[in-house]
């Protein structure tokens, strides 16, 4: 019986059945002078399809500086969506369904690649406007470079250590049974 319990504990720990913290994929804004920062999503949300509506309420962090206007996580418009393509090696931001963020005086949104004459770079264009000026957006061909999506190093080491502890317990129980 002890052998079964020990093997079960070992398998749970080494196969990752003990939940590790969720990783994030961070999309860093590049390619347009005056636009910098990032937007992050939990990487477990992506379903591998080429047209996925991901609620903005699932954004885990946001910090964007758009021509001097700062947008933070607290400015996210949670009732709208971001449209993703996660069918490739890394997810890609394709479009938006409403605003990304509104800081009280300016708002930002995603629009399709190439919208309103922006360069075709494979990512969603960024739109920027005064609040309430939905028809007065300016569009920019911002690239959204994805990074992350791996289990963080401390979690990997903890899982490895737990697996070694399970092996030690197994060997101890086997030694006692052999006496």
Q: What are 97-122's pLDDT values in tens digits?
A: 999 999 999 999 999 999 999 999 99
Prediction pTM value: 0.70
Q: What are 36-54's pLDDT values in tens digits?
A: 999 999 989 999 999 999 9
Strands (E), the chain: 24-30, 35-42, 52-55, 59-66, 69-72, 81-85, 92-97, 99-102, 106-111, 125-130, 138-140, 143-148
Q: What is the DSSP string of 83-98?
A: EEE-SSSS-EEEEEES
Q: Which among 160, 100, 157 has a CA at the least distance from the CA of 127?
A: 100
Average pLDDT over residues 26-38: 96
Does 127 score more than 90 pLDDT? Answer: yes
Contacts 24+ apart (CB under 8 A), 52-58: 52/83, 52/84, 52/85, 52/86, 53/81, 53/82, 53/83, 53/97, 54/81, 54/82, 54/83, 54/84, 55/80, 55/81, 56/80, 56/81, 56/82, 56/98, 56/100
How many CB atoms neighbour CB 137 within 10 A? 19
> What does the DSSP 8-state code read for residue 99?
E
Does 146 score more than 70 pLDDT? Answer: yes
Q: Which among 34, 54, 36 has a CA at the least distance from the CA of 45?
A: 54
- What element of type H or E holds 169? helix 153-178
């Amino acid at each position: 019986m002890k052998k079964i319990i020990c093997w079960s504990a070992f398998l749970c720990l080494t196969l990752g059945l003990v939940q590790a913290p969720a990783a994030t994929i961070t999309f860093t804004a590049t390619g347009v002078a005056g636009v910098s920062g990032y937007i992050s999503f939990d990487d477990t949300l992506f379903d591998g399809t080429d047209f996925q509506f991901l609620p903005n309420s699932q954004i885990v962090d946001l910090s964007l500086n758009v021509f001097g206007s700062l947008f933070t996580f607290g400015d996210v418009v949670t009732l709208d969506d971001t449209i993703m393509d996660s069918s490739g090696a890394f997810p890609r931001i394709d479009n938006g369904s409403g605003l990304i963020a509104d800081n009280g005086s300016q708002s930002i949104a995603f629009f399709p690649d190439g919208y309103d004459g922006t360069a075709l770079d494979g990512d969603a264009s960024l739109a920027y406007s005064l609040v309430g000026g939905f028809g007065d957006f300016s569009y920019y061909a911002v690239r959204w470079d994805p990074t992350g999506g791996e289990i963080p190093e401390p979690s990997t080491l903890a899982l490895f250590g737990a697996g070694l502890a399970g092996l030690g317990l197994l060997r101890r129980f086997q030694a006692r049974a052999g006496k």
